Amino acid sequence: MICTKRIKEKNFQENGGKVLKNQRVRIFSEAALVKATNNYADDRKLGEGGFGSVYKGVLTDNTVVAVKKSKGVDKAQMNAEFQKEMSIVSQVNYRNVHIHDKGSRILASWTNRLRVASAAALALDYLHSLADPPVIHGDVKSVNILLDNNYTAKVADFGASVLMSPGQTNILATKIQGTLGYLDPEYLMTGILTVQSDVYSFGVVLVELLTGEIPNSISKSGEKRNVIQHFISALENNHVFKILDFQTADEGEMDEIEAVAELAKRCLNSMGVNRPTMKEVSDELAKMKALHQKSWAQQNSEETDYDVTIFLHECKSSHEPIPDCDVIADRELH
């Protein structure tokens, strides 16, 4: 028993346990994680990255978590990356920066797509403007925006993130990290990661929400194409509605889609200085979302009033009196 305890303690220390004890994180045993993921079953796998795979886990108290299981890479490098990610995540405390399960029918309507875009932008704005210290996410992409059972967007995976000093807006990276197709071209050329690099990547995500296509996807003819260039070309030629992969409900939604498309184009500017800040992006999407909800509420209110008017007319025009007709109608109205 003493030997087993010593082996466990040695393993704990070698894997960064001493560092983790000083962070605001909960530490689990290997057995607990195996049980939570059903022994890392294939149907629990959520995704895969450079250092490992991510699985859905359910704890004994029914809390849903994401469990990252490392690949057989260099142990020292793995520990350094893991400790770096934990040090960043432990300092982030915000309701939209949390890991949950994926949703399924979320992209069926523009309402939900706008909701996802607004929530993700709000989270990134928090990282840039309100987190202490500020954080550049470094790997903003659709697979890192997870959804809970209420279809609320959560920004995840801080493996490529960096902490900044107050007032700092960029950092010279020792190596390029991120995902091709989402990476800021300015960052690729200079090696300087900035808050505007996240803005570019978020612009790519907006394009995905509009078109349903991932960067560098295969066209219907089987040819590779640059989705971003295709999107900008469609926007400039007033063909943006031809490349959407969902149905719009009314003219109001079409106006919103055009506004989001223009916002995405601004985020995708080749020069970071010409892109909007994440706060500007978040504010614009939040305003759009609020107007959308107000319009939706008004439409539903008008439909209810119309239904009640017809009901009253039918009751009062009947040849035979209907008891408590007005009372029923009034109750229906409320």
Residue ranges for the binding site?
69
- Cα–Cα distance, 275 to 87 (Å, whole number): 29
Q: Which residue has the tokens 């943006």?
A: 240
Residues annotated within a binding site for ATP? 69
Q: In what order do the strands lie in the sheet with 45-48?
A: 45-48, 52-58, 64-70
Q: Which is catalytic among the residues 61, 74, 101, 139?
A: 139
Hey, which residues does 66 pair with through a beta bridge?
Answer: 56
Residue of 80, 1, 53, 63 whose CA lies nearest to 26: 63
Q: Which amino acid is at 262?
A: E
Note if 139 is an active site residue: yes
Radius of gyration for the chain, computed over Cα atoms and rounded to the nearest angstrom:
25
- Cα–Cα distance, 209 to 312 (Å, whole number): 44
How far is the CA of 131 from the CAs of 93, 97, 144, 166, 253, in angstroms? 8, 11, 19, 10, 33
DSSP label at 15? T
Residue of 239, 225, 235 whose CA lies nearest to 203: 235
Task: Return phi, psi of residue 90, to 5°.
Answer: -65, -20
- Cα–Cα distance, 70 to 77 (Å, whole number): 11
Sign of CA dihedral 128, 131, 135, 137: negative
- Cα–Cα distance, 24 to 158 (Å, whole number): 15
270 contacts 185 by C-beta, under 8 angstroms: yes
Supply the residues annotated as catalytic: 139
